[in-house]
Amino acid sequence: MAKTSISSPKHVEREEFFAPGHRACQGCAEVLAVRLVLKALGKDTIVAMATGCMEIISSPLPITSWRVPWIHNAFENAAAVISGCESGMKALMRKGKIPAKKINFVGMGGDGATADIGMGPLSGALERGHDMIYVCYDNEAYMNTGIQRSSCTPYGASTTTSPAGKKSIGQHTQKKNMVEIAAAHGIPYVATACPSFPFDLMEKVKKASETAGPAYIHILSVCPTGWRINPSEAIKYGRLAVNSCVFPLYEVDHGKYRLTYKPSDKKLIPVSEYLKGQGRFRHLTDSDIETIQAATMKAYERLLRLSEQE
């Protein structure tokens, strides 16, 4: 593991850029991820956010939780709006209308806004090479409208539009690999992160901010409401997802793969440890879990191979 500059909560920015009084559910790890991302970026940040949980809970007119400039977009166009902000500010700085300084342009969206509805504009923004960061908060379904499946819902999960029953296992397709899709654009920086590993998350956000050109960060955000777990266990389930290799923490820095956290033999757990406590997976049989275990390890071994290549 590379040496990190943030290794203790004492190194973390004390100022809060996301005010309390927001309406997120109890134990929401997604709002924690937003809070940590803003702490890593600091106050010179402009955020464009697609519709989704984080928009609903943070900005019921006339109040807002944001302490940085923020604009609400439709589901599809957060990436388009933030790329416009970046180009506009760059032009104003070039003409001397505003003082030149480093500003972080951040597009944010949930998994629905990123992998389903807003994928076209995101792909366009990544291809045009704007100096921006796009952060996807992946809670693995459309949670704010009541847990409908998205293309990021994992195989076997029960949601209201992919209910498990006698003839259905729940979600029957594999989770869309949005990280690889972003990496396939050949952009300078792509990473996965999880708020259960806050220092790793903040390091990656800082690195994305320092990288010139587009960066994409995919954050697994545990949703106690949609995953049917106890709110107090939100951080624990993020950790289980990483330690069972369901959600490996890695980065693709200028095409070079690197696993930023490898679960040690002692910490490596079977996927059943991660799946068994969650209500959305409780219908799975042992053979279903074996299928998931095999697919998980296959994907993880591919990442291991890629990270060993020079």
| Cβ-proximal residues to 290 (8 Å cutoff; 6+ apart), any chain | none
The nearer residue to other proteins, 196 or 209, going by C-beta atoms, is 196
CB of 89 to other proteins, least distance (A): 18
Indicate the helix (H) or strand (E) that contains 268.
Answer: none
The least CB distance from residue 34 to other proteins, in Å, is: 9
Say if residues 187 and 126 touch (Cβ distance below 8 Å): yes
Closer to other proteins by CB, 267 or 305: give it.
267
Closest CB to other proteins among residues 34, 164: 34
Cβ proximity to other proteins: between 197 and 300 the closer is: 197
The rounded Cα 42 to chain-centroid distance in angstroms is 19
Binding site for other proteins (CB under 8 A): 8-10, 12, 16, 18-24, 26-29, 31-32, 35, 58-59, 61-68, 195, 198, 224, 230-236
**What's the closest the beta carbon of residue 60 comes to other proteins, in angstroms?**
8
Nearer to other proteins, 70 or 105 (CB): 70
CB 227 within 8 A of CB 280: yes
Taking the complex as a whole, the smallest distance from the CB of residue 172 to other proteins amounts, in Å, to: 32
Residue closer to other proteins, measured from CB, 38 or 215: 38
Residue 255 contacts residue 171 (beta carbons within 8 Å) = no
Report CA torsion sign: 47, 136, 282, 232. negative
| Cβ atoms within 10 Å, residue 19 | 13
φ and ψ at residue 16, rounded to 5 degrees: -95, 125
* Cα(87)–Cα(89) distance, integer angstroms: 6
Closest separation in Å from C-beta 94 to other proteins: 26
Tokens 């803003």 identify what position?
A: 38
Question: What tokens were used for 285?
Answer: 């049989």
User: Cβ(111)–Cβ(138) under 8 Å?
Assistant: yes
Per DSSP, the three-state class of 108 is strand
Q: Output the smallest distance, CB 12 to other proteins, in A.
A: 6
Compare residues 7 and 160 and give the one whose CB is closer to other proteins.
7
Q: From the CB of 233, what's the least distance to other proteins, in Å? A: 7
